[in-house]
Structure 1
Amino acid sequence: MISHIDHVVLTVSDIEVTLNFYRRALLMEEIAFGNGRKALRFGAQKINLQTLGQEPRNRAQVGSGDLCLITQWNLKDVVAHLVSENVEIVEGPVRKSGAVGEIESVYFLDPDENLIEVSVYK
């Protein structure tokens, strides 16, 4: 029935701070959509951003996100890039289980302490 994820939503304290972090740390593209909302696009997916209470149907809290993102980069290059952008790695590289097989991952926190995992399939 379901083929893939189109987008996810992160609830953040400051959209501009979040946009800056993800553009810098993960080289994502900032885009605007409906009524001036902001999102981060990468490949064929996006992360929509909202502030607390902006979307009354959503009960997510600031910092409640936990995302695993797949990269085509070598994980050593990912680590080097994150370090060059002063992003503190909180765990990894470590081996984990991804949706379709074994992955190697590094973990870090975004400005709202959402846990971000960047992974390579082995």
Structure 2
Amino acid sequence: MLSGLDHLVITVTDISRAVDFYSRVLGLDVRYRDRERVDLMLGDMSLRLHWTATDISPRAATPTPGSLDLCVRSVLPLDEVQRHLEALDVEVELGPVTRQGANGDITSLYLRDPDGNLLEICRPLKPAGD
């Protein structure tokens, strides 16, 4: 019945600060919808930023900045991601650590966006023999 995600809404207190973080730090392309909604492209889906004081309806019952826990896959090796984050003075809260992903074991780094949302950046562990 379902085939995947189209977009995921992230409630933020400051759209411009969030756009800066997700575009500069994580390299996502930005598509402005209006002053209260911005799409950050992640493959064929988007992370949609909604401002906390928006009148957009319908919306989640309790849209709360900092309540998201999101894991995204990296195309780059995590040591490169970690060097990039260090160069931008973005703190890695944990990692690299081994975790269980949707399709097997992954190695992950954890950090937070400006609103305190937990972001996990992962790479699949290579199968034995690779």
TM-score normalized by the length of structure 2: 0.87
Structure 1 position 118, deviation (Å): 0.3
1:97 pairs with 2:86: no
Deviations 1:34-75 (A, max 9, x none): x45211112212100112242453122011111100011101
Distance 1:72 1:27 in 2: 11
Give 5+ residue unaligned stretches, structure 1: none
Distance 2:81 2:96 in 1: 10
| Identity value in percent | 36
Q: Which amino acid aligns with 1:10?
A: I
Runs of 4+ in 1 over 2 A off after TM superposition: none
Q: Which amino acid aligns with 2:124?
A: Y
Secondary structure of residue in 1 paired with 2:67? coil
Give 5+ residue unaligned stretches, structure 2: 126-130
Residue 88 of structure 1 corresponds to which residue in structure 2? 91
Residue 42 of structure 1 corresponds to which residue in structure 2? 42
Structure 1 position 3, deviation (Å): 1.8
Distance 2:44 2:86 in 1: 26
Residue 74 of structure 2 corresponds to which residue in structure 1? 71
Distance 1:6 1:78 in 2: 25
Distance 1:48 1:78 in 2: 23
Larger radius of gyration: 2
How many residue pairs were aligned? 121
1:119 is aligned, of 118, 122, 128, to: 122
Distance 1:3 1:98 in 2: 18
